C-alpha cells in the first residue's frame, strides 16, 4: 500500500537505480554507452545472456510499478469495447502475415529475402501505407477546422505535422520516385550508402535507431501510459492523437523483427518492455476477447524473436528482418491514422452533444 501511495517516488528511484546498473553493464561489456548500436550477428555467450536477463528484469520491475499504480487507481479496462469483426479480421490477417514470413524464412530463405528487395513487395507496400496514412489525416484537417470543436487549432496543427511526416517517410521509402522517373542521383546524394536520392541513407544506423525508438514510444509506450492513466490529462483533445489498445497490440509486431540489431540496448529494452506492457494490459482488460488477443500477441512476439535468433543466420542478407520490421511499422502507423480518424469522429460527436445540451 505504501508503494502505491508513493508511486512517483518509487518509480523514479527504481529508474535511477536501474539506469546506474545499466550504465555499469554497458561500460563493462562494450567500453562505451553507444558501442552496441551497430549491426552484426547476435552475441549469445554467457555475458550477453546475463545482460539480456538484466533488461528483462528491469523491464518487468518498471512495468510492474506502473501496473500496480493502475490497479490502485482502479484503472481496470472495463470500458473497452470488444474488437469489431473488421478489427478481429485485421488482427488474424496480421498474425497470418507474421507466421507466413517465419515460414518463408524456415522453408525458403531466398524468397523471404526477395520480398523485401527494392521495388518488389514490402518496400512499395510500406510507402503505400504511409501515403494512405497521410491522406487519411489530411482528410480530417478540413473537418477539424470547420467544425466547432475546442482546441481546433491544436488539432489541425497536429494533423498537419503528422500528415507531412508520413508523406516524407513515404517519399523517402521510394527515393522520391527516382527509379520510376529514371533521373540520375545528384552528386550531393551520391555519397550516401546506396547512392540514391534520399536522406535516410546518409547515416543509416543512427536514423534507423531514432526511427524505431520514436515508433516504439509513439505507438506502444504512449498508448500504454494513457490506458494505465499515468499520463496527465491536461490538454483536452490530446487523447485524440493517442492510439488505442487495438492499434498498440497490432503495432507491437514490429518490435520482434530483430537480428542484425539485436545486440543494441535500443532493441532489447523496447522488446522486453513491450512484452510486459502487453502482459499488464492483458491482466487489466476485462473483455475476454481482448485478454485473449493480448495473450496471443505476447506468444507471437516471443516465437517471432526466438525464430530470428535461431534461424537468422540463414537469411541471404543479415538485415532482411529489419526490412520486414519497417513494413510492420508502416502498417502500425496506418492503423494509427484510422484510430485518429475514429477518435476525432467521437470527439466531434461529443462536442455537438454538449452544445445541444446547453
User: What was the pLDDT predicted at 118?
Assistant: 86
Is residue 335 pLDDT above 90, yes or no? Answer: yes
Q: Cβ(101)–Cβ(111) under 8 Å?
A: no
User: What was the pLDDT predicted at 80?
Assistant: 73
Q: Cβ(26)–Cβ(242) under 8 Å?
A: no
Tell me the C-alpha distance between 70 and 33, whole Å.
33
134 vs 119, residue with greater confidence: 134
Q: What is the mean pLDDT of residues 55-61?
A: 97
* Inter-CA distances, 277 with 58, 102, 133, 272, Å: 13, 24, 26, 9
Is residue 228 pLDDT above 60, yes or no? Answer: yes
**Whole-number mean pLDDT of the chain?**
88
User: What was the pLDDT predicted at 356?
Assistant: 59
Tell me the C-alpha distance between 25 and 202, whole Å.
30
The per-residue pLDDT for range 123-173, each reduced to its tens digit, is 999 999 999 999 999 999 888 776 655 667 888 999 999 999 999 999 988
pTM for this entry: 0.91
User: What was the pLDDT predicted at 225?
Assistant: 92
User: What was the pLDDT predicted at 266?
Assistant: 97
The per-residue pLDDT for range 8-24, each reduced to its tens digit, is 667 778 889 999 999 99
Tell me the C-alpha distance between 321 and 116, whole Å.
9
Q: What is the mean pLDDT of residues 35-51?
A: 95
| Residue 1: pLDDT band with limits 50, 70, 90 | very low
Q: Minimum mean pLDDT among 11-20, 219-228, 312-321: which range?
A: 11-20
Q: What is the mean pLDDT of residues 224-248?
A: 82
| Residue 100: pLDDT band with limits 50, 70, 90 | very high
| Residue 184: pLDDT band with limits 50, 70, 90 | low
User: What was the pLDDT predicted at 70?
Assistant: 85
Q: Which of 263, 260, 276 is nearest to 220 (CA)?
A: 276
DSSP 21-74: HHHHHHHHHHSSTTTT-S--SPP-SHHHHHHHHHHHHHHHHHHHHHHHHHHHTT
Q: What is the mean pLDDT of residues 106-113?
A: 98
Amino acid at each position: 500500500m505504501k508503494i502505491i501511495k508513493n508511486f512517483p517516488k518509487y518509480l523514479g528511484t527504481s529508474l535511477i537505480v536501474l539506469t546506474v546498473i545499466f550504465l555499469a553493464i554497458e561500460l563493462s561489456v562494450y567500453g562505451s554507452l553507444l558501442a552496441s548500436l551497430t549491426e552484426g550477428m547476435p552475441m549469445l555467450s554467457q555475458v550477453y545472456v546475463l545482460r539480456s536477463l538484466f533488461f528483462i528484469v528491469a523491464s518487468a520491475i518498471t512495468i510492474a510499478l506502473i501496473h500496480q499504480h493502475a490497479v490502485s487507481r482502479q484503472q481496470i479496462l472495463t470500458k473497452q469495447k470488444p474488437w469489431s469483426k473488421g478489427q478481429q479480421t485485421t488482427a488474424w490477417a496480421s498474425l497470418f502475415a507474421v507466421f507466413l514470413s517465419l515460414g518463408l524464412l524456415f522453408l525458403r530463405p531466398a524468397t523471404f529475402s526477395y520480398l523485401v528487395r527494392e521495388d518488389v513487395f514490402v518496400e512499395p507496400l510500406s510507402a503505400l501505407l504511409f501515403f494512405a496514412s497521410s491522406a487519411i489525416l489530411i482528410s480530417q484537417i478540413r473537418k477539424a477546422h470547420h467544425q466547432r470543436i475546442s482546441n481546433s487549432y491544436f488539432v489541425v496543427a497536429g494533423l498537419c505535422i503528422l500528415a507531412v511526416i508520413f508523406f516524407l517517410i513515404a517519399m523517402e521509402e521510394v527515393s522520391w520516385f527516382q527509379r520510376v522517373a529514371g533521373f540520375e542521383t545528384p552528386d550531393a546524394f551520391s555519397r550516401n550508402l546506396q547512392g540514391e536520392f534520399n536522406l535516410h541513407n546518409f547515416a543509416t544506423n543512427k536514423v534507423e535507431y531514432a526511427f524505431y525508438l520514436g515508433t516504439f514510444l509513439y505507438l506502444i509506450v504512449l498508448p500504454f501510459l494513457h490506458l494505465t492513466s499515468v499520463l496527465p490529462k491536461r490538454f483536452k483533445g490530446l487523447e485524440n492523437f493517442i492510439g488505442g489498445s487495438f492499434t498498440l497490440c497490432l503495432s507491437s509486431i514490429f518490435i520482434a523483427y530483430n537480428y542484425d540489431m539485436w545486440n543494441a540496448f535500443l532493441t532489447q529494452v523496447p522488446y522486453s518492455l513491450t512484452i510486459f506492457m502487453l502482459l499488464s494490459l492483458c491482466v487489466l482488460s476485462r473483455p475476454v476477447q481482448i485478454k485473449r488477443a493480448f495473450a496471443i500477441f505476447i506468444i507471437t512476439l516471443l516465437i517471432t524473436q526466438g525464430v530470428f535468433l535461431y534461424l537468422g543466420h540463414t537469411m541471404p542478407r543479415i538485415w532482411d528482418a529489419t526490412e520486414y520490421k519497417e513494413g510492420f511499422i508502416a502498417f502500425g502507423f496506418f492503423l494509427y491514422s484510422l484510430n485518429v480518424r475514429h477518435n476525432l469522429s467521437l470527439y466531434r460527436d461529443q462536442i455537438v452533444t454538449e452544445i445541444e445540451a446547453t
